[in-house]
A = this chain, B = another copy of it.
Amino acid sequence: MSKKRGRTEKGEKSRHRLMEAAAEEFARSGYHATKVSDIVKAAGLTQAAFYLYFPSKEAILSELVAEFKQQLRVFGDSGSNVTALAPSDVPAKMRQNIEDVLTFLLKNRELVRVALYESPEATVIHEEITGLIRENARKNWLAGHIREGLALDVVAECIFATIHASAERWLFNGEKSAKQLASEIAEVLQYGMLAHRPKNDLPKA
Contact = CB atoms under 8 A, between A and B. Distances in A.
A188 to B, nearest CB: 5
Given A157-B166, A158-B188, 16 more contacts: A32-B33, A88-B198, A90-B196, A91-B194, A145-B194, A147-B191, A148-B195, A150-B184, A150-B187, A150-B193, A154-B162, A158-B162, A160-B165, A190-B193, A192-B192, A196-B204
B151 A184 contact: yes
21 contacts: A32-B33, A90-B196, A146-B193, A147-B193, A148-B195, A149-B187, A150-B184, A150-B187, A150-B188, A151-B187, A154-B166, A155-B188, A157-B162, A158-B158, A160-B165, A162-B162, A190-B192, A190-B193, A191-B191, A192-B192, A195-B203
Contacts of A204: 196
Interface string A160-191: 11101110010000000000010011011111
A201 interface: yes
